[in-house]
Structure 1
């Protein structure tokens, strides 16, 4: 069975034919995605991990560098990335996919083992590498994704071998052509890993008055060196990135949790509700109130 067929089987078995968005699966760190019609290009934040498509297509706009992926392709997302995403349902069929969180402890254990076997994959061009890459599945990666979907459809299998399949998937990603992204994160070496450390701090403290100086200090870099490294990884300036993260968090609060606009603005670090509304409309092309009622 193809990966798309296995995903359709999971939808039928779990009654997910009305799902629009993400749903947790029975395996920790694994999420199933379905969208019946897709969506037009809109701002979004991709969290770090792997994103697999079994059906449909997506266009990711990161600065001026578009990233496209479709069936049996996946993204390696090293750091949380504010971007714009266009999801396309092909031939009237829903988009189907998986989002995989990679357990940091598993990643470190694998990298340490691979390092001991001299399997480290150095970065081909560290000066231009960004935090988002599309990869075509080789047979081994496709095989583990198919076995993961089969396990999800079987209550004993996902309980017994789900964890080991997730570890194998992380290993396959490490050994892929973009595995250096994950290697560097685990080894805490180089500018990429330093920027990732600063981003982790930002995502935990976005409600505070976080400055570029604060982020540079967490990366143990000078402000000028950090600014350049940050732009290389995220294709955005630190100030732009901070604003996008706050606005995306606010949208989640308003749309998913029903928080009032003024309260959402305050919770994400805005002192001025009017400034928040202006920047929200500029970023999402609609007002916060429109999002609340949509």
Structure 2
């Protein structure tokens, strides 16, 4: 048994090293890098970063080299090459690279999740389709098994085989999804994908909040939209996102305000009104609480930092 475990560990280390090598060939500079495989991106950082705030879309994230901390509300998640991170719904997160250097840069693979593909794989593999009465957190970290890592490495290898990529990449992506669904916490993705589950209803409310983030929040209307009572919506929403609908809306507003301030020449008061705040002082106060500095000071700081877009 001990020999078998040692052999498995050696195999994992070899695959982690190969993944880092393959990614390093394709990304020589820091930042977010698109690849020729749809929905697949590489992230590189040659040094630790400050916390990066964003609303993250559903994705699988696997670190090939380095270490990161992700914050969801008051919850902290740390992961490294032995883990994978799954984000199943749009979540306001902050991420900070805590282990990276020019000699061994942080390297992370991001594969955007397509929930229609999740459902297809569930049906094809005849996985359980039972709807749970409970909702599950929209983010989790699990240990990366050898079969999942092997599939991820094979997907990245295809970048060096353009003649095979078009046919084989979708097949390997399906295998990766199958491995995640069969993982220790795969039930989360199953519940998100199944129409009518409480987790799926919360996901629909999240999309509605993102669409109408600048409008007054009416919990009764959101509850009716989700076919839930107000109390039930509050409970399930918090279970999925670690925050209330109002707190989620505030996060979306502040993230959008920050984006507008960076991309346009509008002043802080105008941006505050555009994202739904009625009081400039309230906007400035909540912005400072979220990002650590008032809007103008935060803009000066951000313009000196390299662009970041992912946890």
TM-score normalized by structure 1? 0.86
| Cα shift readout 1:208-241 (whole Å, capped 9, x = no counterpart) | 3333223222221111111111111111111111
Deviation at 1:67, TM superposition (A): 1.7
| Cα shift readout 1:221-273 (whole Å, capped 9, x = no counterpart) | 11111111111111111111110111112222333x34534454344333444
Deviation at 1:90, TM superposition (A): 4.2
Rounded to whole Å, the distance in 2 between the matches of 1:37 and 1:261 is: 32
Correspondence 1:120 to 2:128: yes
Q: 1:258 to 1:52 in 2, by over 3 A?
A: farther
- Aligned residue in 2 for 1:260: 266
- Aligned residue in 2 for 1:143: 150
Equivalent residue in structure 1 for 2:109, among 80, 98, 101: 98
- Aligned residue in 2 for 1:225: 232
- Aligned residue in 1 for 2:49: 39
Assess if the C-alpha contact under 8 Å between 2:15 and 2:150 holds in 1.
no
Gaps of 5+ in 2: 1-13, 304-311
Equivalent residue in structure 1 for 2:188, among 171, 181, 185: 181
Aligned ranges 1:105-254 → 2 under 5 Å: 105-114=116-125, 117=126, 119-120=127-128, 126=134, 129-254=136-261
Q: Which of structures 1 and 2 has the bigger CA Rg?
A: 2
Rounded to whole Å, the distance in 1 between the matches of 2:232 and 2:205 is: 13
- Aligned residue in 1 for 2:3: none
Correspondence 1:30 to 2:40: yes
Rounded to whole Å, the distance in 2 between the matches of 1:31 and 1:168 is: 18
Q: 1:38 to 1:204 in 2, by over 3 A?
A: farther
Q: 1:59 to 1:168 in 2, by over 3 A?
A: same
Rounded to whole Å, the distance in 2 between the matches of 1:186 and 1:58 is: 27
Rounded to whole Å, the distance in 1 between the matches of 2:133 and 2:62 is: 25
Q: Describe the SS at the equivalent of 2:81.
A: coil
Gaps of 5+ in 1: none
Q: 1:34 to 1:286 in 2, by over 3 A?
A: same
Q: Describe the SS at the equivalent of 1:38.
A: coil
Rounded to whole Å, the distance in 1 between the matches of 2:30 and 2:51 is: 20
TM-score normalized by structure 2? 0.82
Q: Describe the SS at the equivalent of 2:41.
A: strand
